Amino acid sequence: MFEHMLLPGPLHALRGKGFDLNSGEGSFQWSAALQGLCLLLLGARINLGGDASISGQRGSPASSLDYALTKGTSWLRDLFGSDSRGNLLAQRLIKRSNTECKKGGEVKLALNQEFLSRSNVRIYLNGKRIDSEEKLLEIERAILSGWRPKAKPRRQDKPEAQGPSVSWSEILREGLAQETARMLCHLDISSPAQTKHILQKIYKNPSFSGIAGAPLPLVAELDQSLKGSARLGYGDARLLKSHLSPDEPIRIAVPGSSAGPISILQYLKLKMGYNIEILYTFPHAIDVTHHLFEKRFSALPDALVLGIAPAGTLLAHRPRLEYSALMLMPGFSHRVVAPCGGDRHYNGEYYFLRDDPSTSSFYFDDLVRRGDLSSKLSPVRHGEPDQVADILKNGDEAVRAILFFPHHILNDKLNDCVVLPEERDQSHIREAVLFVHDKIAADKNLALCMDIAVRNAWLELRDNAALRQEISESLLQDQGYATFMYRSCGIGNMRRESTSALEDLGASF
C-alpha cells in the first residue's frame, strides 16, 4: 500500500497479474526490478541513520530498477500512482545518478527523503509488521541470495514468454486506455496558459517553421477567447445537440492510432449521441493530407485531426486547402525502438516516415539538436510503420525506428524489440490539432459547439478511468476498427503473431 498527499487515496497492489481492472487494485510481479525496489526500501529501514541507497553495474538489482524507472513500466504506476499530469510519482520518489550506466561504472539509486521520509517506510511479511533490524537483514539476505542476474539473450535465442500468452488485442486494449490517460493529462485543456506555452514551443521549433513559414495560428481566436463555463466544457445541452446532430453526420478524419482524439470522438458519438462519423482508416496523419491533395475523398470531411508536421503542411497550402485550425487535441507518443540484443544507444540506421514532413521526422530532428544522436552516424531510410515491423524482426542490431503509438508498444511486446529510454520527461509527446472546414469556421455557433463538446469529452475522460476503459473496449469491439489496427500496425509481420491470428479477430473481443 502507498499513500501520499498528491494522491486522492491509498493505492493497493497485489503480486500476480490478471486482476479485475475495475477492482481498483494494481498488480506487480516478482521481477528483477521489483527485487531492486525491495532492497532499496529495506535499506531505508535498516540504515535509518545512514545512507539508504543501492548501486550496481548492468545486470544488478539496482540497474534493473533504474531501467524500469526510465521506461516508466506500468507496475510502478500501480504501486505509486502518478501526478495530475500523468508523470510517475516513482520517478520523484527515487533519485538516480549515472542512469543506464552511461558513464560506465555503477548506477546509484536513493530514496528522495524530501518526497518520502524513510521513517515512513513500513515493512510487512505475511501480514505482520517487521521492525527488528535482525529480521530486516534476514529478508535482505534472502533476496540477495536468491538473486540471479538476467542473462542478456541472443537475438535468435530470446525465450518465449512463460505462462499464457497475451494476445495483441489485449495489449492494444490496455495500451489504448493508458495512452489516452497520459495524453489527456499532458495538457490541461482548461488552462489558457498551458495552451499558450505549448503553442510557443511549436512555433519556435525549426522543423515546424521550416515547412509552415510564418504560420497561421494553430488555435482559432474563438478557442483562445473562451471564458467561464465554455472554457470548462459546459454549454446549453439542447443547443449543443441541435448543432452537433444535423441530418447528415459530421464527418471527421482522424488516424486510427491517435488514442486521445479518437477516444474523444467515440465518447461524443456513443455517450453524447451526436451525429458524428469517425473516418479512422488512415495509418497516419500524412495519409489524411494525401487524400486532400490527391482528391481521394468522395466528399471533403468536415474536420481533420493532424499531427504538428502535417498541420504545418496544411497551413502552408492555405487557401488551396479549405481548412483552418480550431483547437489543440490530445497528442501522441513517439519512441525509439530497436531489436533486442544490441547496445541501447540512439545512434543507428533509422527508419521512419520521412518522404513527407512527419512528426516522426520532427522527433528525429529534436534528438539531433539535443545531442542524443549524431546525424552523421545515423543514416535515415523511409519506412511505413507496418513495414518497419518486418525490418525490426530481422534483428539487425544497428536498426532503429521512430514509431508512434501503438507501434512502439506492439513491437516491444510482440516483435522482440526494446523501447529505448527517454530521459526527458514528456519530450516524446507531440501535439495534435483539430482543423475544421471553412464552412464550419464561418458558422461561429457550430464551431463554438464543437469546441465546447471536445473540451467536455476531454475532461470527462481525463477524470474517469472506468469511462476511458469503456471507450477503449467499444473501439476494439468494432470489427472494422480492430481489423484496421491489425493491418496498419503490421501485427501479422511480428515474430509472435501470424496472419492466422486475424482469423480469430471475432473471438478476441
In whole angstroms, what is the distance from residue 335 CA to residue 354 CA? Answer: 16
Does one domain contain both 409 and 439? no
pLDDT at 222: 96
Whether 11 maps to a domain, the answer reads: no
* Nearest residue to 325 (alpha-carbon basis) of 334, 316, 338: 316
* Nearest residue to 169 (alpha-carbon basis) of 493, 481, 495: 481
Check if the beta carbon of residue 222 is closer than 8 Å to that of residue 451: yes
Could you tell me what percentage of the chain is helix, strand and coil, using 3-state DSSP and rounding each to the nearest 5? 45, 15, 35
Does one domain contain both 320 and 389? no
What are 470-483's pLDDT values in tens digits?
A: 999 999 999 999 99
Check if the beta carbon of residue 41 is closer than 8 Å to that of residue 119: no
* Nearest residue to 430 (alpha-carbon basis) of 299, 350, 331, 285: 331
Whether 27 maps to a domain, the answer reads: no
pLDDT over 60 (residue 339): yes
In terms of pLDDT, which residue wins out, 174 or 252?
252
What are 174-214's pLDDT values in tens digits?
A: 899 999 999 999 999 999 999 999 999 999 999 998 888 77
What are 358-405's pLDDT values in tens digits?
A: 999 999 999 999 888 888 889 999 999 999 998 998 878 889 999 999
Does one domain contain both 395 and 257? no
Whether 22 maps to a domain, the answer reads: no
Q: Is 215 exposed, middle or buried (0-12, 13-18, 19+ CB in 10 A)?
A: middle
Residue 363 CB neighbours (<10 A):
23
Lowest mean pLDDT among 8-17, 125-134, 275-284: 8-17
* The last residue of a domain, from among 395, 419, 443: 419
Domains: count for the chain: 3
Domain span including residue 388: 334-419
Whether 154 maps to a domain, the answer reads: no
Beta bridge partners of 75: none
